[in-house]
Amino acid sequence: MPSSPIRTVVSFTSTAFNKTEHRSYFINKGCFGDDVAKWLIGELRENGVNADREPGQEDFGWYFNFVVGEKAHTFVIGYRPGDEKDEEGTWIGWIERDRGLFGSIFRARKRGIDPLAIWAIHSILSVSPKVQDVRWHCQQDFDKGREELGTPAP
């Protein structure tokens, strides 16, 4: 029996984090998420998870590395602004394996994700009053715009 795909993409809404003020250190104008990443790092560390002290910046958002189940993972977070029907906008994050340059070239970042890493992030998002509307998605469904298939838990 084939196993079902693992849900590695998470979306949520929040008014607690910056999504309007463009900071001078942003690589691009809409590179929001540094405060979300710092908050998640702090929460993970408080729960005994080995995580980076500071997030790194991508051209569209932020990322940090953390270790769960003796496996290094990366969490990437960015903000998708709302449109006419979704004025609030959505935070989009996903978990990958931290595989280094060669692993990235050979698409190994999507393989071997420990479910404990997903639950470590979920356990923070699902109980925080800062976060609403948590939905977990399979990468392939999310990439095809089928967000309605998301579930409240991984």
Domains with residue ranges and CATH for the chain: 7-149 (3.30.310)
- As a whole number of angstroms, the distance between CA 59 and CA 100 comes to 18
pLDDT interval class at 103 (50, 70, 90): very low
Q: What is the pLDDT of residues 42-81, one digit of tens each?
A: 999 999 999 999 999 998 899 999 999 889 999 999 999 9
Q: Tokens in use for 32?
A: 């929001």
Model confidence at 84: pLDDT above 80: no
pLDDT digits (tens, 9 = 90+) for 109-138: 566 788 999 999 999 999 999 999 999 999
> Which CA distances in Å does 94 have to 5, 24, 53, 56, 122?
14, 25, 19, 15, 11
